[in-house]
Amino acid sequence: MRTDTSPAIYRKDYTPPSYWVRTVEMGFDLDPSATRVATRMTLARNPASAEQAIVLHGEELELVQIRLNGKNLAKRDYKLVDGLLRIPTKAEEITLEIETLIRPDKNTSLMGLYVSNGNFFTQCEAEGFRKITYFPDRPDVMAQYTVMLRGDKKKYPVLLSNGNLIEQGDLGDGRHYALWEDPFKKPSYLFALVAGQLVCQEQTEKLKSGREALLQVWVEEGNLDKTQHAMDSLVNSIHWDEERYGLELDLDRFMIVAVGDFNMGAMENKGLNIFNTKFVLANPRIATDTDYANIEAVVGHEYFHNWTGNRVTCRDWFQLSLKEGLTVFRDQEFSADMIGTDSGRAVKRIDDVRVLRQAQFPEDAGPMAHPVRPDSFVEISNFYTVTIYEKGAEVVRMYQTLLGRDGFCKGMDLYFERHDGRAVECDDFRAAMMDANGRDLTQFERWYSQAGTPRVKVTTSYDADKQTYDITLAQSCPPTPGQAKKQPFHIPVAIGLLDGKGRDMPLSLKGHSDQPTTLVLELTATQQTFHFTNVTEQPVPSLLRNFSAPVVLDYDYSDADLAFLMAHDSDAFNRWEAGQRLATRRLLALTEAAQQADSPLSVDVALSASLRASLNDVALDPAFRETVLTLPAETVIAEQMEVIDPQAIHTARRFLRLSLAKDLRQDFSRVYAANQTDGPYSPDAASSGKRALKNLALSYLAELDDADAHTLAQAQYDSANNMTDRMAALAALANSQAPGRAAALAKFYSDFEQEPLVIDKWFSLQAMARTTDVAAVQTLMKHPAFSIKNPNRARSLIFSFCNGNPSRFHAADGSGYAFWAEQVIALDAINPQVAARLARSLDRWRKYAPALQEKMRAALQQVADTAKLSKDTREVVGKSLAAN
């Protein structure tokens, strides 16, 4: 077994840079096989550093020349080891000129400068700039950039970089140039350039101050019919940030560019956001309602980074959640405000909490668990996680829950007042929230330093004579790697009490004069009891309203209590939550029964009655009813089990869905008919909610797998005027024995052959279909449209199977794991970031039955034993295999 691993980097080892960079001038001669990069920077010694050298990072660069204050340096004048270039000096002011040669066409990692479909793009976060030139590539070094791009006029008619276009012109020799200047200083990770054959949709928009800004969405020719929604989302984002936080766009020009080869969702480069096509391109023919919502969220997210991330950035990468947690929180609030209604906001909240439970809770309970502000990492790219993003957003949300919306805004104002133009730490954000509100949030720091999902156990007691009600909250947090013992967290627990008619009771808590119907209890000790007075009858408690903290809440509700909350709670989130608790209970019981060969699975009338009531309650928005009728995901059930049994979970969930389909057949048919959206397609919340509910009904009816269901799905497929309905129908057919199944899949392919994002859906749908085993995936990999080099395509097939088809992936013979190992190794040679993400699929191997565990361990070991492995993938498999 190989033991050589790259060294970990520790937060406690932070030292300030030896030199600050004031200005950077760059010249690019663009050529796919040999791009020449000439950089001139001015540096100033940092008196806070003891180091007597300029320290620059560089990777995969051909160094042509270095000049210091105009003098060529010889090899003996500097040291170049392991990607670090050290130039000994004590000078106060320095001009450094560096020339490098790079090969964008050979860059399959998609970090640094690379070529996608003949065009040039960059991705510099987190440490990609060092693949372009030698530079102090760390976020606390902020400089002002001027960029000259030169290239062939025909091949690269469009030349873009950050900031303002200063000048452009002809070079005479078939080439042309463009000179860009970014007026704001920025860290190197926000640098960007784009060059190639692109076209744009543009408009000017008036900002709050009256200034006009030019907005552009750049895409490949042929995609201009898919940019309107991204543009609308950008305009909405700009005005939302003005309204909600008083933050105005600080540039005269703001560009979004879409690229088909991209490692993540999108990137907030100053003034030149670069996006995965998946989060830009949409029209009714190719994009689903979910795609429309995602585009709005990601466009918002990147735009909001302009203040939270770019104007105020991170001191070091351990502070990543400072910008990501805050910006996810902001995009969540933006999306909620765009829906506008209370019920719509609840649905958005439910969606966000689902992501947290399906992905972040498992991460927090596994070998890669880390605090929102980690203490160490081997490869920073592995820490763009659901913990940093989604749990980070929950941590930010808790400030708002504790301080109120106005208090939170005051904290934001103070944060910008103190730190604009600087690179700071998570602690600085917390300090701004504290100081702006005169609140002590010292203990709140533990949300940043301690990993793991806290559990809050609730007990209650009612005294009818004294009319008092006591709520006792007790917290604990399981150990995580490197953190055996945890200190108590500061947890806001929002609660309400329901009377026998389901109405909110006014809450009288000792020490509070007003009588609200929702109160935020602050749990700071290991255990605390809250005494309520004037409680005239035994209440049913509504706990953790709107999911006020990222915790698991245990309370011994009776089934009757849950059904009651489902029907009456004024907190929409908790109405949904009660249904999920009830369904989880049933699913766990069914899973246990499925594990015993001789115990038959039985139907539950009570659950089905409660679900029927919600399904038919026309006072509730369709979108909300859809969330209630959606059973907890297999991964959520898995998290509740001591030993995960993917087959039994799958059997149980399918059984429950089929029983509900039989029980509620009439209701589903009625709901299906009542929620048609006639007329032209619109992605607005009301229409998409109707489609969601209608297509949920279709998916239940499809469980019956009878001629009626087949006919219904086929008819919807044939008449669909939008991708949401078409995909829903295709999914119903693909998971059935419908005679038209193969023909529908083939027709879908030929109809959308020219649309890569739709072909991704085609692969993904099949990867997750019930009948798809490893052999079927391998056959799909031989399809001419498959390519492992394109991250979206690799994700659509390989990731969808490994992460989205648990009962097939965890086949008893271990074939899924062998396939996984093969693909991780193949991907690692092409794109380490994407490979390391796939490597995460087995990190919870210790939670499975011994027979599966052994096969998973062997697959992990096979990857770990691979001689040439990136540090990205090695960190993930190393941590997965490490003794816990």
Q: Tell me which residues are annotated as active site.
A: 302
Which x/- pattern over 106-125 shows residues binding ligand TRP (rule: CB under 6 A)? Answer: -----------------x-x
Measured from the CB atom, the residue of 182 and 755 that comes closer to ligand TRP is: 182
| Residue 875 near residue 5 (C-beta atoms within 8 A) | yes
Residue 291 near ligand TRP by CB under 6 A: no
Of 261 and 324, CB closest to Zn ion: 324
How far apart are alpha carbons 218 and 194 in whole angstroms? 10
Q: Which helix (H) or strand (E) holds 774?
A: helix 774-781
Say if residues 156 and 120 touch (Cβ distance below 8 Å).
yes
Nearer to ligand TRP, 140 or 634 (CB): 140
Query: Site residues for ligand TRP, window 374-403 (CB under 6 A)?
Result: 381, 384
Nearby residues of 157 by Cβ (< 8 Å), 6 or more positions away:
196, 197
Q: Residue 131 and residue 134: Cα distance in Å, rounded?
A: 8
Q: Which of 159, 255, 266, 664 binds ligand TRP (CB under 6 A)?
A: 266
Q: Kindly list the distances between the CA atom of residue 454 and the CA atoms of 135, 385, 526, 644, in Å, as whole numbers in the listed order.
A: 41, 18, 11, 21
**Taking contact as CB under 6 A, which single stretch among the options 98-106, 265-273, 368-376, 862-870 is the one that binds ligand TRP?**
265-273
Q: Which span (59-67, 326-334, 502-510, 516-524) binds Zn ion, by CB under 5 A?
A: 326-334
659 counts as binding ligand TRP under rule CB under 6 A: no
For the record, the structure tokens of 873 come out as 């993938």
b vs e for 483-492, b when ≥16 Cβ sit within 10 Å of the residue's Cβ? beebebbbbb
Q: Is 55 helix (H, G, I), strand (E, B) or coil?
A: strand
- Say whether residue 834 binds ligand TRP (CB under 6 A): no
Question: Which does residue 35 bind out of Zn ion, ligand TRP, none, counting CB within 5 to 8 angstroms by kind?
Answer: none
Sheet bearing 193-196, strands edge to edge = 112-116, 119-123, 193-196, 158-161
Comparison of 629 and 835: residue with beta carbon closer to ligand TRP: 835
Pattern 95-114, binding to Zn ion, x per CB under 5 A? Answer: --------------------
Give 9's strand partners: 377
Choices 258-266, 589-597, 716-724, 866-874 (CB under 6 A): range interacting with ligand TRP:
258-266
User: Interface with ligand TRP includes 127 (CB under 6 A)?
Assistant: no
- Helix (H) / strand (E) element for 10: namely strand 9-10
By CB under 6 A, name the one of 97, 289, 302, 364 that touches ligand TRP.
302
The whole-angstrom separation of Cα 606 and Cα 615 is 14
Quote the least distance from Cβ 328 to ligand TRP, whole Å.
8
Is 329 an interacting residue with respect to ligand TRP (CB under 6 A)? no
Which of the choices ligand TRP, Zn ion, none does residue 126 contact, using the CB cut-off of 5 to 8 A by kind? ligand TRP
**In DSSP terms, which residues pair with 312 in a beta bridge?**
308
Check residue 264 for interaction with ligand TRP (CB under 6 A).
Answer: yes
Applying CB under 6 A, the site for ligand TRP has a residue count of 13
Q: Among 102, 217, 267, 856, which residue sits at the site for ligand TRP (rule: CB under 6 A)? A: 267
Q: Which two tokens stand for residue 503?
A: 């109405």
By the rule CB under 6 A, 263 interacts with ligand TRP: yes
Sign for the pseudo-dihedral over CA of 295, 288, 346, 559:
negative
Token code pair at residue 1: 């077994």
Containing 236, the helix (H) or strand (E) segment is: helix 228-245
Using CB distances below 5 to 8 A depending on partner kind, what does residue 384 bind out of Zn ion, ligand TRP, none?
A: ligand TRP
Whole-angstrom distance, CA of residue 122 vs CA of residue 160: 11
Q: In terms of CB distance, is 263 or 724 closer to ligand TRP?
A: 263
Cis omega (within 30 of 0) for bond into 715: no
Q: Which is nearer to ligand TRP, 125 or 828 (CB)?
A: 125
With CB under 5 A as the rule, give the number of residues binding Zn ion. Answer: 2
Closest separation in Å from C-beta 327 to Zn ion: 5
Q: Within 569-644, where are the H helices? A: 572-595, 605-616, 622-629, 634-639
**Interface stretch with Zn ion, choices 191-199, 222-230, 316-324, 618-626 (CB under 5 A):** 316-324
Structure tokens at 685: 């919340």
Dihedral angle, C-alpha 748, 754, 757, 762, nearest 10 °: 30
Residues forming contacts to ligand TRP in the complex (CB under 6 A) are: 123, 125-126, 263-264, 266-268, 301-302, 324, 381, 384
Residues forming contacts to Zn ion in the complex (CB under 5 A) are: 324, 327
